[in-house]
Amino acid sequence: MTETTTDKKVALVTGASSGFGRLTAETLARRGYCVFASMRNVDGRNSRAASEILELAKTEDIDLHVVELDVTDDASVDAAVHAIVSDAGRIDVVVNNAGGGGMGPAESFTVQQVIQQFDQNYVGPHRVSRAVLPHMRRQKSGLIVNVTSTAGKISMPFMGHYAASKHALEALSEAYSFELADQNIDVAIVEPGAFPTPIINKMVEPGDKEAMAGYAPSMDILQKFGEGMGEMLSGPDADDPQVVADTITALAEMPAGERPLRTVAGRVFAAPTVAEGEDPYAVRQRELLTGIGAARMLKTPVATS
């Protein structure tokens, strides 16, 4: 990483090899930020992505850099943050975007798989936040954007652990937002809906095949769910992932103290307009389950009071 000492605002984006992270890094750089696009295995499996990002920076003459960072490794996170602050002098915006998921019956994921899921989606953002907050505190300013999911509000069958990790990150983000309010450091949650990004093709399969076999009666729903997601993400009405990058950039450019805690990005899974007293997320959950032919899984009526 070359010397980049700058008077620009400095942003760190995790999971920037593809998807929301890469689009966000590029968008912020085009808006005049000094951006560090972080990812694992810069010299290995992500070497091509790293090279493409650096070539884009050169071609468009934007302040965009690549840094090695594995959100599941304390030493990697600390080293990356130290390198950025040493080179750029500060960190103004952190986008905790890195994450992953699995699809299948909750029981059929091994304990180790669940621990890995939470390490990536929940502990990872906490690691990064702990590493950057001392610098933001010294600056007396900063913004942490945690990318969760509408799955952080709506749990669907066969994505239980992914949803649980995003629910957890939502709760952590709320706590951080309260605790940092007196320090001029904002925390914002961005909840993407369903977007055509590489994460869909990277879903982890359950490790306990014996437990999974016990859910044979529900496999038709799992198949319908997968097919429905495929249609949603490939159809003409699919949301553009750039929406998420633009949402994050808009939050970064808002005045400190005026940023909303939560922002939903995208149309799919957004909470519907409901009658007074209804829970919009429960209504949307019911609509989605019914839409994929899983109405028989609904055993509890939606609360109206």
Domains, the chain, ranges and CATH?
A: 10-270 (3.40.50.720), 271-305 (no CATH)
pLDDT at 280 over 80: no
Residue 55, pLDDT score: 98
pLDDT at 197 over 80: no
Angle at 21 between CA 252 and CA 89, to 5 degrees: 55
* Other CB atoms within 10 Å distance of the CB of residue 49: 19
* Other CB atoms within 10 Å distance of the CB of residue 145: 26
pLDDT at 112 over 80: yes
- SS3 string, the chain, reads CCCCCCCCCEEEECCCCCHHHHHHHHHHHHCCCEEEEEECCCCCCCHHHHHHHHHHHHHHCCCEEEEECCCCCHHHHHHHHHHHHHHHCCCCEEEECCCCCECCCHHHCCHHHHHHHHHHHHHHHHHHHHHHHHHHHHHCCEEEEEECCHHHCCCCCCCHHHHHHHHHHHHHHHHHHHHCHHHCEEEEEEEECCCCCHHHHHCECCCCHHHHHCCHHHHHHHHHHHHHHHHHHHCCCCCCCHHHHHHHHHHHHCCCCCCCCEEEECCCCCCCCCCCCCCHHHHHHHHHHHHCCCHHHCCCCCCCC
Mean pLDDT of 24-34: 98
Q: Which conformational region is residue 12 in: left (phi greater than 0), alpha (psi within -120 to 50 degrees), or beta?
A: beta
Residue 274, pLDDT score: 62
What is the pTM for the complete model shown? 0.88
Residue 120, pLDDT score: 97
Distance, CA of 30 to CA of 13 (rounded, Å): 14
Instruction: Give 142 or 217, the one with higher predicted confidence.
Output: 142
Annotation marks residue 215 as catalytic: no
Q: Which of 122, 162, 176, 215 is catalytic?
A: 162
On average, the pLDDT of the chain sits at: 89
Structure confidence by residue, pLDDT tens digits, 2-12: 455 668 999 99
Mean pLDDT of 160-188: 97
> How do 34-39 and 10-13 pair as beta strands?
parallel
Distance, CA of 94 to CA of 84 (rounded, Å): 12
Q: Given pLDDT bands bounded at 50, 70 and 90, which one contains residue 284? A: confident
Residue 189 CB partners (closer than 8 Å, separation 6+)? 145, 146, 148, 152, 170, 173, 261, 262, 263
pLDDT at 144 over 80: yes
Percent of the chain with pLDDT over 70: 86
Q: Given pLDDT bands bounded at 50, 70 and 90, which one contains residue 305? A: very low
End-to-end CA distance of the chain: 56
Residue type, 61: D
pLDDT at 247 over 80: yes
